[in-house]
Amino acid sequence: MPPDRARAIRRVTMIVTLLAVLSALAFMTVGVRGSWGFVLAHRGIRLAALVTVAYAIALSTVLFQTLTGNRILTPAVMGFDALFILLQTALVTTLGATATGALDPRLLFAAECLVMVGLSGLLFRLLFRGEGGNLPLVVLSGLLFGALFRSLSSFLQRIMDPNDFLVLQGRAFASFNVVDPTLIGVAALLALAATAIVLPRLSALDVLVLGRDRATGLGIDTTQLSATIFALVAVLVSASTTLVGPTTFFGLLVANLAYLMVPSARHADVLPVAIGLAVVTLVGGQMLLERVLGFGTALSIVIDFVGGVVFLFILFRTGRR
Amino acid sequence: MIEIDKISKRYGQTTVIDAVSLAIPRGGVVGIVGPNGAGKSTLLSIMSRLTKTDAGRVSIDGLDVTKAPGRELARRLSVMRQENHVAARLTVQDLVAFGRFPHNRGRPTREDTEQVATAISFVGLEAMADRFLDQLSGGQRQRAFVAMTLAQDADYALFDEPLNNLDIHHAVSMMRLFRRMGDQPGKTVVIVLHDLNVAAAYADRIIVMQDGRMVGDGPPANVINRRLLSEVFRVEGDVIDIDGRRVVSVAR
Ligand SMILES: Nc1ncnc2c1ncn2[C@@H]1O[C@H](COP(=O)(O)OP(=O)(O)OP(=O)(O)O)[C@@H](O)[C@H]1O
Ligand SMILES: [Mg+2]
């Protein structure tokens, strides 16, 4: 790699890291009133959740896009997070509130993760059957699946017992503002475990950008690699969705910004920047909107708006080529 | 030795490879010719395990390509396919460096860097090593992919129409390069070609494919003749000898 390119990558990584740290500091300290101890503990929990989510989404989006060989589709656009919510809803509907309430939420979450891995694997095989696949068709069916999962969930929520609904509400309607604290530890651990599995595979993933056939020719067992990475993506999506709920265009936004800013196709270069950008957007954005501008609930709207515009932009650009 | 034992491949009802058996021993340059749709690319991608067969088996130095570890195979056999498109934004250097992956698993040593530089200079792209692939002309991009396959430094190197988009100068220097490779001890080059004159000039052995079957196999002098032109390629023409080399001249 020519030295000026290496330097550019280093500079981008440093700036983004710095911004991420600053966002976290600001998130913790701006506008503290009353007891510092209380506020710091309260904000610390939220910060931990937001950072975990940012990490999980950035990682899962970039991995997913490498696997599918495109930059439009993300797990969220494909309705994976909607699938997770549907799963939770179906669980509460079938087991009932008392049964679900009695179970250890971590156990429940583990079970949900497993089902997610299975179901999303199935969905993946359905949509990406055959070499390369037909991208517009896959985008369309992904969007349709997402819509289907969302309407099924809301249908179940309409007809379910009001008591069950209350239990579900506590678990399935988290957002950037109202994070569900019970599972932060588990989610963070999962994200770390996923990282431990991904790290030794980073250079193999780099080769995968050449396409399945060339990667096979270079000695990579692409079937096994895809299956592993895909399972990780499902777990990461479950982790982030359980903490803050669905995040339609967030992953798309940060992943594409990272591709744009990093002059390299290596995952070791792109991933840190994508993760840093996710933290800046989520933590910094939340801080700005909530504390400085005083719009409590607007972040997901802003992110989805900007992300949606980016989505359309990329879609049109790819369509024209 | 590449051993191909009665392989067949069907897509729906159409058989595109029909019980082909073939042995390619180590050493030399083997050309594969045949009309569009004859099954040349399919044969090559079955040999390199990228396409599954419906029947038969392929082995490289005794290793069954469907069972042997990918890495082991990647060090013995490299393949450049007919269509060369990459979605990611890579430089020539990045691309060619991927050729070393079977040897270094993504941790390049000094030797890898040198091999990459050599491969790039073999195809004459030194001045463009840091250019992105989408900033190259079609022929330059084609040469970059050839360089990647060269960098893989496998015992058997398969190329599907490597001369696509190349001007005469680069086509000739690429064929000379393949010829030199094939003359190295233990190295074998298999090339799908459309230009019969090029095949006759550089290959030790020519394999003719037609409708999924092998219809000719032997040194150029035995294979390239008027019957090949009329029966396989359905053109009338003459085959003349110039300095002991077969030259095809097709009637207008
Ligand atoms: N994925 C596929 N599905 C259906 N038919 C296919 C597929 N791939 C190839 N074929 C058919 O198999 C036959 C052999 O194709 P192949 O690409 O091997 O031909 P080829 O000899 O390389 O031709 P060319 O000189 O045009 O490159 C063709 O008739 C083609 O239409
Ligand atoms: Mg072909």
Share of chain A above pLDDT 90, in %: 34
Closest residue to B101, CB basis, from A1, A207, A213: A207
Q: Does position A87 have pLDDT exceeding 80, yes or no?
A: yes
ipTM of the complex: 0.90
Contacting residues of B for A209, CB less than 8 Å apart: 86-88, 90
Q: Where are the domains of chain A?
A: 38-247
What span, in angstroms and rounded, lies between the C-alpha atoms of B227 and B214? 15
Q: Which of A66, A198, A210 to mutate to probe the B interface, most B CBs <10 Å? A: A210
- Which residue is closest in CA terms to ligand 1's atom 29? B37
Q: Which of B7, B53, B69, B1 is nearest to B209 (CA)?
A: B7
Distance CA A281, CA A293 (A): 15
Q: How far is A62 from chain B (nearest CA, A)?
A: 13
Alpha helices in chain B (DSSP H): 40-47, 70-76, 92-98, 101-104, 110-122, 138-151, 168-183, 196-202, 220-223, 226-227
3-state DSSP assignment of residue B11 = strand
Interface touch A213/B93, C-beta < 8 Å = no
pLDDT class for B21, splitting at 50, 70, 90? very high
Amino acid identity for residue A34 in this structure: G
Q: Whole-angstrom Cα distance, residue A304 to residue A251?
A: 10
Distance from CA of B168 to the nearest CA of A (A): 28
pLDDT for residue A129:
65
* Nearest by CB: A207 against B81, B98, B130: B98
Q: Which of A30, A80, A19, A89 is nearest to A239 (CA)?
A: A80
Instruction: Tell me the average pLDDT across A99-114.
Output: 82
Tell me the pLDDT tens digit for each residue of B48-68.
999 999 999 999 999 999 999
- Find the residue in B nearest to A210 (Cα): B86
Question: Tokens 């010829």 belong to which residue?
Answer: B179
d(CA B106, CA A200): 10
Question: Which residue among A69, A70, A203 sits closest to B105, beta carbon to beta carbon?
Answer: A203
Contact criterion met (CB below 8 Å) for A252 and A77: yes
The 10s digit of each residue's pLDDT in A179-238 is 777 788 889 999 999 999 999 999 999 999 898 889 999 999 988 898 899 889 999 998
Instruction: For residue A54, give the amino acid letter.
Output: A
CB A190 within 8 A of CB A60: no
The minimal CB distance from B73 to the residues A2, A204, A219 is found for: A219
SS (H, E, C) B130-141: CCEHHHCCHHHH
d(Cα B205, Cα B208) in Å, to the nearest integer? 10
Q: Which residues of B touch A203 (CB under 8 A)?
A: 101, 105-107
Averaged pLDDT for residues A10-27: 95
Using 50, 70 and 90 to split pLDDT, how confident is the model at A171? low
For residue A1, what pLDDT is reported?
Answer: 65
Residue B34 clears pLDDT 60, i.e. is over it: yes
Quick check: B48 contacting A, CB < 8 Å?
yes
Arch. (CATH architecture) of A38-247: Orthogonal Bundle (1.10)
The C-alpha R_g of chain B, in whole angstroms, comes to 18
AA identity, residue B181? M
Whether pLDDT at A93 is above 60 = yes
**A23's torsion region: left (phi>0), alpha (psi -120 to 50) or beta?**
alpha
Q: What is the Å distance from ligand 2's center to A290 Cα?
A: 60
**Across the A/B interface, how many CB contacts are shorter than 8 Å?**
62
Tell me, what DSSP letter sits at residue B126?
G
Which residues are CB-contacts of B177 (< 8 A; sequence separation ≥ 6)? B122, B123, B150
With beta carbons less than 8 A apart as the criterion, state whether A32 and A39 touch: yes
pLDDT of residue A320: 56
Residues with CB under 6 A from ligand 1: B 11, 16, 34, 36-42, 82
- Average pLDDT value over all residues in chain A: 85
> According to the model, what pLDDT value does residue A174 have?
63
B244 contacts chain A (CB < 8 A): no
Closest CA to A120 of A175, A170, A60: A60
Residue of A nearest to B153 (CA): A218
Rounded to a whole number, what is the distance in Å from the CA of A318 to chain B's nearest CA? 11
Q: Residue A243: which of A39, A27, A54, A42 has the closest Cα?
A: A54
DSSP state of B161: S
Distance between CA atoms of residues A46 and A202, nearest Å: 30
Question: Residues with Cβ < 8 Å from B244, sequence gap 6 or more?
Answer: none
Task: Judge contact between A161 and A221, C-beta under 8 A.
Answer: no
- Residues A203, B105 contacting (CB under 8 angstroms): yes
d(CA A207, CA A66): 10
Q: DSSP per residue over B55-109, as a string?
A: EEEEEETTEETTTS-HHHHHHHEEEE-S----SS--BHHHHHHHTTHHHHTT---
A1 vs B contacts (CB less than 8 Å): 93
- Give the whole-angstrom CA distance, residue B117 versus residue A133: 35
Q: What is the pLDDT of residues B178-199, one digit of tens each?
A: 999 999 999 999 999 999 999 9
CB B182 within 8 A of CB B204: yes
Give the 3-state secondary structure of residue B181.
helix
What distance in angstroms lies between residue B242's CA and the mean position of ligand 1's atoms? 34
Q: Helix or strand or coil: residue A138?
A: helix
Closest CA to A213 of B164, B25, B194, B51: B51
* B147 touches A at CB < 8 Å: no
